[in-house]
Chains A and B, each alone.
Chain A
Amino acid sequence: MRILRSEWTKLRSVRSIWITILSTVAAGTALSALGVSDLLGGSPADLPDPWDPTATSLKGFLFAQLLIGMLGALSITPEYATGMIGTSLSHVPARSRLLAAKATVITAIALVTSLVTALLSFTVVQALFAGADLPSAGLTDPGVPRALTSATLYLTLIALIGVAVGTLTRSTTGSLAVLVGGLLLVPAIAPGLPGGLGDWFGDYWPNTAGQAAYAVIRTEGMIAPGTGLAVLTLTALCIAAASHLAFRVRDI
């Protein structure tokens, strides 16, 4: 409890953390709205088939995931940049406990941030759809609560991956490079690889799979939402375990 309180103090007392949180919510929502702008002028007949207004309302996650991943990384990388990690570990020599406290505090902050981002994106975009006389979804429609819960967990898991990546790279810029590569570049490019390899990346690359978790309407060939969330969760746990091991054995 003492260490959790200490880690919370460290996070809340630096403005960049608050900026990252607000940016996640604001940029996530704004980009979700922007992402559907080309649909708003058309008629219902022009909509993709099948039409999933819920998943379509979370397009801003593409960028929000990067911000929340960096939020996770920022829980530890500045300590390496300043050398504070030495002070932190001389106060809390049990390394696993220190890392667990960081991960716990980030998980709590990320859960709230993700939930707000998901709800706000969903509400704003559904209002835009309704205003444009397009079929929209309600919060209590079948499948919607589950999708928004999965969307919240999706962003939270990315934040946790961010903590792990920050611990492994020990560098803010290094973390940014890894997250941009893993969250944006690979899912954008790798599905174009020939044959089964491209198909695998298209379905099972962890954050691509995770995005399947917040679909309400399942299209042909799409992996099941539960499978998608499981793939992302397993990935997060593996990277977290690797970072924990590295944090325990490496010299500071």
Chain B
Amino acid sequence: MDTGIRARGLTKRYGHRVAVDDLSFTVRPGLVTGFLGPNGAGKSTTMRMLLGLTRPTRGTITIGGRHITDLDDPAHTVGALLDARAVHPLRTASDHLLAYAQTAGLGRARVAEVLELVGLADAAGRRADEFSLGMHQRLGIATALLGDPGVLVLDEPLNGLDPEGIRWMRTLMRDLAGEGRTILFSSHLMSEMELTADNLIVVGHGRLLAESTLAEFVRANTTQAVTVRTEQPDLLSHALHRAGVPFERAPDASLLVTGTESGTVGRIAAAEGIPLDELTRVRESLEDVFLRFTHDDTDYEGRAA
């Protein structure tokens, strides 16, 4: 079955406030798709509409062309992690999982499998109120994986994980996508997308800001820059000026050349016989790109006191 996710004209209004505004995008199987946007951009609302928890004001969001309530076997088709804290505090991890395994016609054997998979086998008999946030995230992932679904929808899955947990979650998402599954995961942190996502859906104020591969997004939104350090900055400045290459002089006497490849800068210096101490290509960090990109769309911006 086709397990792509497709949103068309998806809109959700709460009174006068528009949470999701005419959103259209496609999430393809076999790839990790990052759903990126500042807090309040409408990511969770979109995921809740996908899962049938919230009714769109207009538009549709479907899995393989069908609304979730029209799926033949939803528990085996879609797995979701919406809120890792959504566990009864007095229920054990294994009973929590068993209740959801049973909706998919599965039993304790499958519960043991997913507990093993997420590294919670030792905590199976413990109550959720003894869990750390990281353990809750792992339990949430285990719940999502119970029915071995082809589509995974994960809202902020990296939240609250320690560095080791983040690496584990990334590897897991990549592996699951490698098996041909559709993975949609949200985050408000670009840095979390860098090593995980193949594709990006960027939203702000409920509107689609970009839909592309991660690489394309970076290429389209970053500027090339090269740092050059030499003992003869004045000579190099003249040379660059003659070559028509734009640059800035940094306070530490190095030069920041923009819009030109490092090789070009090196050749200009070589032609003039200027020895270089450093020639580094600097990439604007994705965090910077994202912040600039969504700046106008940030709802709750911190203000300096």
A90 touches B82 (CB 8 A): yes
Any A CB within 8 A of the CB of B52: yes
Within 8 A of B (CB), among A83-98: 83-84, 86-94
The residue of chain B having its C-beta at the shortest distance from the C-beta of A1 within the complex is B105
- CB neighbours of B88 from chain A (8 A): 10, 14, 78, 82, 84
B55 touches A89 (CB 8 A): no
Min CB distance B57 to A, Å, is 11
Min CB distance A20 to B, Å, is 13
Within 8 A of A (CB), among B139-161: 143, 147
A89 touches B95 (CB 8 A): no
A82 touches B51 (CB 8 A): no
A15 touches B90 (CB 8 A): yes
Query: In the complex, what distance in Å separates the CA atom of A16 from the CA atom of B127?
Result: 14
Query: In the complex, what distance in Å separates the CA atom of A250 from the CA atom of B87?
Result: 22
Any B CB within 8 A of the CB of A127: no
Query: In the complex, what distance in Å separates the CA atom of A215 from the CA atom of B85?
Result: 49
- CB neighbours of B201 from chain A (8 A): none
Any A CB within 8 A of the CB of B98: yes
Instruction: Give the residue of B71, B85, B95 whose beta carbon is less than 8 angstroms from that of A93.
Output: B71
Any A CB within 8 A of the CB of B89: yes
A86 touches B86 (CB 8 A): yes
Instruction: Give the residue of B82, B83, B102 whose beta carbon is less than 8 angstroms from that of A6.
Output: B102
B86 touches A84 (CB 8 A): yes
Query: In the complex, what distance in Å separates the CA atom of A252 from the CA atom of B50?
Result: 13
Q: Flag A1-38 by CB within 8 Å of B: 1 or 0 each.
A: 01101110110011110000000000000000000000
Min CB distance A121 to B, Å, is 30
Any A CB within 8 A of the CB of B266: no
A82 touches B85 (CB 8 A): yes
A94 touches B89 (CB 8 A): no
Q: A2, A5, A13, A83: which has the most chain B beta carbons within 10 Å?
A: A13
Given A2-B104, A13-B95, A90-B78 contact (CB < 8 Å): yes
Residues of chain A at the chain B interface (Cβ within 8 Å): 2-3, 5-7, 9-10, 13-16, 78, 82-84, 86-94, 249, 251-252
Residues of chain B at the chain A interface (Cβ within 8 Å): 48, 51-55, 68-69, 71, 74-75, 78-80, 82-83, 85-92, 95-96, 98-100, 102-105, 143, 147
Contacts A/B (CB < 8 Å), 15 sampled? A2-B104, A7-B99, A13-B92, A13-B98, A13-B99, A86-B86, A88-B100, A89-B52, A89-B53, A90-B52, A90-B79, A91-B100, A91-B103, A92-B75, A93-B51
